[in-house]
Each structure stands twice: as C-alpha cells, then as structure tokens.
Chain A
C-alpha cells in the first residue's frame, strides 16, 4: 500500500468519523447524559487526531486536541453540557470538518474562526489549559529521559562502569516482559557481565513457576549516558527493583573484574538489604475500573469496500440482462409455438430472477439519506445564525435508502431549499412569539419510500408563502400577464419560474442568484419532480419525488405517429380514452378535454415532437393526464398504449445529443430503440411554441368557475 493510498484511506475514514461525530452530537442534544454517546463523539474526534498526527497535519491535530480535551471533561462529568456548550460542539464539529477538507484538498483555511473556537474551547478548561501547552511530539516513543544523546567527540572515550541490580517482581513477568531480552538490550550498550542471584529460589515443593525468584547483578562498561540505561528499563519501571549506580567513570577505564561463578555472600546480603529497605514492587494503587469500559452495542455491520466502477459495470450488465430477457420473451411469443405455455412459466421465473438480481445490485448503490440530512443540520445552524433566527432541525426516515448518485446530486438543491426555509420560511423569534409559536422554528426533513419512488420533504413551520407578494413580483418581472388569475397552487409554483427571486430584498444568505428554478432543474435532471404546498401561518413544504434508481424505470410503451416510445409511469396520473364530445376546440387549434367538470388543455405529443401523423384515422387517441409544476394538469395525447414494462435507461445525451421533450432512450424487447419522453419538458415546449395551454387553462377555469 503506497503512502498516498494510506492518506486517501485516512480521509475516507475522516468522512465516516465526521458523520459519526455529527450523529453523536445530535444524539447528545437529545440525551446529554448518555455517556456512551459522549464516548462515541470523543472517539471520533480522537481518531481524527490520531490519524492526522501520522500525516503531520498539525493544525488538524491541535484543533482536534482542544475539542477532545473539552469532550473528555464532559466524559469525566466535570462539565455539564448546556445549550451554549452544545452549540460550541456543533461549531467545532463543523470546523473540524472544514479542516479535514482543507487538509485533503490542500487549500487554505482562514484561521480567524479557528482561533476564536479554540479560545472558546479552552475557556472550558480553566487554568489547566494555560498550564498544559499542547505540543505534539515529533518523536514517537516517549522516553522519560531526554532524547538520545549522541556521544560527542570529546566524551567518546568517557567509558563508565555501571553497577546494576535488577530484581524483577512477579508482575513483570505477568505483564509480558522477558528479563533476558532486557539483558540483551543492555549487552548492546557495552561490555556486560551478568551474575544471577538464585538464592531466593525456594525448595521444589514451595516453588511457584509464575513467581519471580531470580535477580541479577550486572556490571556494564559503556560510553552511553545513564538515561540510555533507564530507557532500557522504561517499561518495567515499577515492576522491579532497580538500582543503577556508577562505580567508575571518567578517563579511568577499569577492566571489569571477572565474575565469581558463585554469587558471593556479600551480594546476597546486599540484595537482601535492598529488599528490606524497599517494598518489592512499588505499584501505584489500581484506581478502579477504567471509565471507558462498558458494553458498546453500536457496532458497524461487517462491510466490504468496493470500487464504484465495478458496481456500475455490474448494474449496466444487469440492465442488458433485463433487455435480453425481454427480447427472448418476445421472440418466443413470436414463434407462436403450440407448447409455449409451459415455456412461459419458466420465462416468468427467469423474469423474476432477473428482477431480483437487478434489485440486489441496485441495493448496493443505495445509501441511507442520513449523512445528507445530517449535513443539513449545519446549514440550518449557519442559516439561523446569519439571519438572527432560531431553528432546529428534525429528521424523519433518515434510514431511507436512495441511489448514491441521487444523494450526491441532491445535496445542492437540498442545501438551497433548507437555507431558503430558514431564511424565507421562518419568522424572526419575536414574530413567532407574536404569532403564539415556539420562538424556535422547526425545519423538518423527511424521507420515505412510496410505491417505487423516494419522497423527500423539506418543511418549515413558518409564516407560509406570501402569495400576494409572489404574484406581484411575477407580474413586475413580466413572468405572467398583469391580468392573470391564478389559483393558490399556481401562484406557489411561480417560485419555480426562471428569473424569479423570492426575497423582496436580496438577503445575505439566499440571495445568491440561485433561484428555485435551479432546484427544480436539478431534481428534474434526476428524473424527479418537486412541488410546493403552503398554508398561511402554518408553514411551507417542498416535496421532492424521485425515482429509486437512475438506471431503470417503469414505463408505458406507447405509440405516437407510428413511433414506439416510452413514457414514465410515475408522471402519469390517469389515462383516459376520451369521448369525442368531451373535447372542445378553443381558439384556432387548441383543444381542451373536460375531465369531471374541469377543462384540461391537451398537448399533442406528435405535434410537439414535429412528427407527421399517418395514423390519425379519426381517433381521439389516448390521453395521459400529467400534473406539471408550471402548467398544472395537462393531457398528453398519444395514439395508443401497448404495454407497461420496466425499461433500462440509456442516456441520449452521451450517445447522441439532447433532444427537447425526450429524456433518454431505451432498448425494447424487439431490439428496437425507443425514446423515453419527458412529459414536463414536452408540455413546456408546447407552452413556449405559442400553443399556450397555460393561459388558456387559466381562462377556461375563469370562464368555467
């Protein structure tokens, strides 16, 4: 593994740790006394610090250290988490995330905010912070003594003779030490003579093999400083009796005396004296069970990290499999075999299996929306700070899984909508107070699966949309004629018109030239729809409906002017075979259909795609009722519906070019390519081409009502 890939792994891990951190912090808000949660938060910060240290990311390390130290105080119950501290933790978490980003991308990050945050964090540490100047050792092993002194030329000859008495305690062996290795290490330092004292070995009957009976008396002739000797014993300090003294030094280099093969009585006596003088092992009293130790149910399930390319390749292949299956089915049907019946059973099983495989593969790409939602809590925090409002974020259904690409591409529109919800949706605290509401506004994010689609809602409990102002603005901008009469939902949907800016004054926050039309386009690009509902005084809700996957969709196979096409089922509300007398011509060539008492404009698909009709044998065709954001209810006219099936989406843009009114293409069972229609765009196209069902629609409603 190369250094770079370790670094990459570190940043990947940081992402996960930061997610865990954000989650932990939001859990802390609910249950500040849950020490497991506090521990998890501490660990996240701590792990980031640990990894960052390995890559010499000093700034990240020192900030994480400040953060962690305060968190440690909370863990030790020396600090109580109040609203102020919680807010500081959130901001520190945000900053930590920024630091990680800046370290990864090697970009500069303004340190003004950091200094402020560190100051705030340190203020919780009292005098300790001042005393404990944090420094991160470049030297990795912490030796008690100073760093190894290289012998200078002057004292290179300064051999000294050390007299070492080393009596291990039982605990030394129990801690996994091997005295022999320590003796070896000493031998590396110079000329060593060793004398074992076996006098304490008891009679065989009383012999406990786990106990310590041996001790050694050594004489080392070395030019190393005494601290180096102590380093050898660093780990066993407190686990043995150790006495190091210099018996001879300086220029005088005595030849070590040959050792007696038998230990002299004197030595034994000396040892005995030492033992009498000191307790055999100066153990610091054990200070109770460690505080972190406890059951930790939050464990990640085993996972496998796979390159996304591989998954996408698999998804593509499975897509081909589905097409292939459809083709085989069709061919067999065409064969018109007499015994086709039992074959169709097998074929049906094949189809189900192929679907299962496909769903399984899709599930690999699916990810919970939770991290995305969590990121939004930061947006809520920043937006409320910037606008002087108070807001909290509530999430519902954040375990809902959505395709990875969808999640990635949803981040920007969601950010924009959440920011808008705080900036334009919520009232200022005093305004809320006056309205009898909680001064703290709520931004609610929810996600759910409904009939093969993903629903995401962003709602606020603010004042609701100011429709009068929206309409006035739209008229002023020339987006709608001054005399237009619009229903409430239609006014709400004006927000999605390009060039519509909601704020009366451009606010510092949302007035970034990005309108809701950008949001709509982004959602649209994902094959989704966005709609808006608002209740005065109660708040506004944006609802996004997205397909579960970008790779396949359920569609109607239709024919339009002899062409086979596909239209997404998700966009169709209702299909109608109209009675000719329900169809009325308005103006020169515009048509409307009467559906349960209201008139719905008709858009002819063939006309709008510029196709020449050969099949217009007097039929009224089939009408597909579609609800669009801009034009409201519209009926699309096609010649016939042939089938309903799952189709594999093939991008038209990457294979050919973008065509207005067409979102993609697919390969049908007979191997032919069919275009997938984009109803919304198709209707907008009709609207733009002067065949304005929108205005007529409004007039009709007016006349009708």
Chain B
C-alpha cells in the first residue's frame, strides 16, 4: 500500500519540490495551499503523514497541528513541520504543539524521504 502524504505549504515552489521528490520516492502526494485548506481536506485525503509549513495565511502551521491534534477528531497521524529556522526554541514549540518532527528548508530529497520512512515505516 502506498503511503499518502498531505503537504500543506503556501509556496507553490515548495509544493512542487515536495511533489517531485515524494512522488519519485513512491509516495502518494496530496497538497493544500494554506492551513485552512489543509485541515479541510485532511479527512478526505486521510493521509499517513502530514507535512506542514509554519508561516501560512488563514491558518498557520501551529494552527494546523492544533486542529489535527485537538478536538473530538484528533488524529495521531505523524505531522512534520517544514521550517527555515532550526532553532531549539522552534523545535520545542513544534513538539509541544504536537508535531512529530521537523524538516529544515532547504531539504534534500534523500533526507526528506528517510525521515518520512522513519515516521511511517513506509518502504518502497
């Protein structure tokens, strides 16, 4: 079974880059261009792992995590945060919010894929 990834990022460039590397690695790729859209499509996509940007219009990455991790429909799906900062403060914040891990931009395909495999157990 293919692993489904939902990538939430307002940058078309980043979405494209993620699509190319993840589809190339055998993942099923879905994307949303802001946090709200990401949260909205989440039930339909029913992904195995979520990748989300932090700075986004409408609903930011922390809002995405809050929404997915909170409420009656909370999910334990791994959520990876895409960030350009690698500060410990941000990591702690992401972790406290309920993020599973983080990827620092710019990312290279190999490490991105290896992180996703590590979190989902996906082997292609």
Using a CB–CB distance below 8 Å, which chain A residues touch chain B? Answer: 1, 6, 9-10, 12-13, 39-40, 42-43, 46-47, 49-51, 53-54, 56, 136-137, 139-142, 173-178, 180-181, 184-185, 232, 234-235, 237-239, 283-284, 286-287, 290, 292-293, 295-296, 298-299
Contacts and interface: CB of A to CB of B under 8 A. Distances in A.
Given A299-B57, A299-B58, A140 B104 contact: yes
A43 B105 contact: no
A12 B17 CA distance: 15
Cβ-closest 8 pairs across A and B:
A53-B106, A51-B13, A235-B101, A140-B107, A176-B78, A176-B100, A290-B62, A142-B86
A290 B93 contact: yes
Interface in B65-84: 66, 69, 75-79, 84
B11 A13 contact: yes
A174 B11 contact: no
Nearest to A46: B55
Contacts of A178: 78, 119, 121
B17 A42 contact: no
B95 A54 contact: no
A175 B98 contact: yes
B121 A10 contact: no
A27 to B, nearest CB: 15
B2 to A, nearest CB: 17
B121 A181 contact: yes
Contacts of A43: 10, 55-57
Interface string B44-74: 0000000001111111101100100100000
Interface residues of B, number: 52
A176 B95 contact: no
B40 interface: no
Contacts of A284: 92, 96
Given A142-B86, A176-B79, A292-B62, A235 B12 contact: no
A13 B106 contact: no
Contacts of A293: 59-60, 62-63, 66
A9 B57 CA distance: 20
Contact of B13 (A10, A177, A287): A10
Contacts of A295: 58
B104 A137 contact: yes
B96 A6 contact: no
Given A47-B10, A293-B62, 10 more contacts: A10-B12, A43-B10, A49-B84, A50-B13, A50-B84, A54-B13, A178-B121, A181-B119, A184-B121, A296-B34
A266 to B, nearest CB: 32
B102 to A, nearest CB: 7
B113 to A, nearest CB: 11
A694 B33 CA distance: 61
A50 B85 CA distance: 10
A54 B86 contact: no
Contacts of A49: 84
B121 A54 contact: no
Contact of A290 (B60, B106, B112): B60
Contact of B60 (A181, A237, A292): A292
A175 B100 contact: yes
Of B12, B13, B98, B115, most A-chain CB atoms within 10 Å: B13
Contact of A140 (B19, B34, B106): B106
A174 B111 contact: no
A284 B88 CA distance: 11
B95 A238 contact: yes
A270 to B, nearest CB: 27
Given A51-B11, A51-B14, A177 B100 contact: yes
Contacts of B66: 293
A181 B118 contact: yes
A283 B60 contact: no
A72 to B, nearest CB: 10
Contact of A42 (B13, B55, B59, B102): B55
A358 to B, nearest CB: 32
30 contacts: A1-B20, A6-B16, A6-B17, A9-B12, A39-B55, A47-B14, A50-B13, A50-B53, A50-B105, A54-B105, A54-B107, A56-B106, A139-B111, A140-B108, A141-B111, A141-B115, A173-B76, A174-B69, A175-B76, A176-B119, A234-B101, A237-B95, A284-B96, A287-B93, A290-B93, A292-B60, A292-B62, A293-B62, A296-B57, A299-B57
A604 B55 CA distance: 67
B7 interface: no
Nearest to A65: B84
A44 to B, nearest CB: 10
Given A141-B111, A177-B78, A50 B97 contact: no
B26 to A, nearest CB: 17
A298 B58 CA distance: 8
A238 B92 contact: yes
B5 interface: no
B22 interface: no
Nearest to B86: A142
Contact of A54 (B17, B56, B93): B17
